[in-house]
Amino acid sequence: MSTELTIIPEVNEKQAKAWLTLAATKNNVTQDLAGREMTLQAILLNKPNDKLAEVLAEYRKQWTEMSEARKAFTSVVTAKLIEPMMEYEKRADPKTNAAYIAASTRELDHRKEATRKLEAQQALATETANFKTHFVNEYLRIMASYRADLAAIITQVYTDCLTVKTPDPTNAIAVAVSAMDAVKPKNPANFVRINLTTQRATELFTAIPQPDYSGALSEAKLALTTKFELYQHDLANAEAAIESNKQQAAIATANADQDIKAQQATNTLFAAAQAFVMPEPGFKGFTERNRIIIRDESQEWVARIMAAFLANLSTVFPLLRVKKYSALNIKQMAEACDTAGIKVEGVDYETIEK
């Protein structure tokens, strides 16, 4: 168990006498004030109503004298004892101490630099994820469009053959195959880079799996052959087959669009999750906000702040920092507007960093 020692500074003889004198004076003043208080109480006793005005005036006069007598003593205490002792804390006050202000500024600069570094890392991570997601989604869109173009050829050729009731569709199938070979996939939309270097973007792009257009073309050609296997059967009821063919194509297109959008949405959400940069342990960023500058000499500014406050009363009233609404002032109205993010027209703002 540790024992703390309290060291009491030695008091010299001069100081001891000063304290004794102060104590004696305090006792004398206390006795005087007590006597004055008794006198004040006696003034009000058993006085007729027609004399109360004079009595009350005399009471106020003697109370003032009592207060001045007390101040004559306490002002000396304040000047000789309290104020000198307060000088230490005044010099060390965080609001005015130069060393503290300098250290606070350095600490804020440190947090600002850490925040900028984190923001740069986050921006790069976000752009990297968006870059990859952009081209993955673009390839999904392009492949879907490519498949749709191939499927449209099948639908069109099959419908045309049924419409003119072609007895042997061999030549039509060959034409369809040639048309499919001529279809070219579209190019992906450009991605505007801000943080990614060309070298890094090239690396990312190269790592993205390319669409298998050749495989999609082979599947479409197989679907074309399969489609015409039932041609003779459909030819017997061509009109119904044509309508059924169109409906099936529309349904397939709608389902494909829905699937692509779902995949793209999933990719986008996954990219957002991947792009988050975790701050280092102990990271403390800084906040920056705009604050209304109060012009005490401007009636117009006061009126503008009051008008904005009243126009948004339901929003700003719960944000007031005031214990008594009767003490509400213009500065508190402005602070409530700032907290609510309400822009007051016609006044100036300053930027506060914390």
3-state secondary structure the chain: CCCCCCCCCCCCHHHHHHHHHHHHHHHHHHHHHHHHHHHHHHHCCCCCHHHHHHHHHHHHHHHHHHHHHHHHHHHHHHHHHHHHHHHHHHHHCCCCCHHHHHHHHHHHHHHHHHHHHHHHHHHHHHHHHHHHHHHHHHHHHHHHHHHHHHHHHHHHHHHHHHHCCCCCCHHHHHHHHHHHHHCCCCCCCCCCCCCCCHHHHHHHHHHCCCCCHHHHHHHHHHHHHHHHHHHHHHHCCHHHHHHHHHHHHHHHHHHHHHHHHHHHHHHHHHHHHHCCCCCCCCCCCCCEEEEECCCCCCHHHHHHHHHHHHHCHHHHHHHCCCCCHHHCCHHHHHHHHHHHCCCCCCCCEEEEEC
Distance CA 338, CA 349 (A): 10
* Average confidence score pLDDT of the chain: 88
Higher-pLDDT residue of 323 and 182 is 182
Q: Which residues contact residue 14 at a Cβ distance below 8 angstroms, ignoring those fewer than 6 apart?
A: none
Inter-residue contact 225 to 157 (CB < 8 Å) = no
pLDDT digit string, tens, across residues 177-220: 999 999 999 999 999 999 999 999 999 999 999 999 999 999 99
Q: What is the pLDDT of residue 60?
A: 95
Residue 19: pLDDT band with limits 50, 70, 90: confident
Per-residue confidence (pLDDT) for residue 16, from 0 to 100: 78
Answer whether residue 274 shows pLDDT above 60: yes
The amino acid at 181: D
| 43 Cα distance to chain centroid | 66
Looking at 80-94, 242-256, 313-327, which range is the least confident one? 242-256
Q: What is the pLDDT of residues 48-85, one digit of tens each?
A: 999 899 999 999 999 999 999 999 889 988 888 888 88
Is the distance from CB of 338 to CB of 298 less than 8 angstroms?
no
Q: pLDDT tens digit string along 166-185?
A: 999 999 899 999 999 999 99
pTM over 0.75: no
Averaged pLDDT, 130-141: 92
Q: What percent of the chain has pLDDT over 90?
A: 53
Q: State residue 4's pLDDT score.
A: 57
Contact 211, 185 (CB under 8 A): yes
Give the pLDDT band of residue 351 (cuts 50, 70, 90): confident
* Average pLDDT, integer, range 32-54: 91
Question: Which pLDDT score is estimated for 64?
Answer: 95
d(CA 75, CA 62): 19
Residue of higher predicted confidence among 350 and 8: 350
Which pLDDT score, from 0 to 100, does residue 1 have? 46
Is a pLDDT exceeding 50 seen at residue 26? yes
Locate tokens 């569709």: which residue?
A: 169
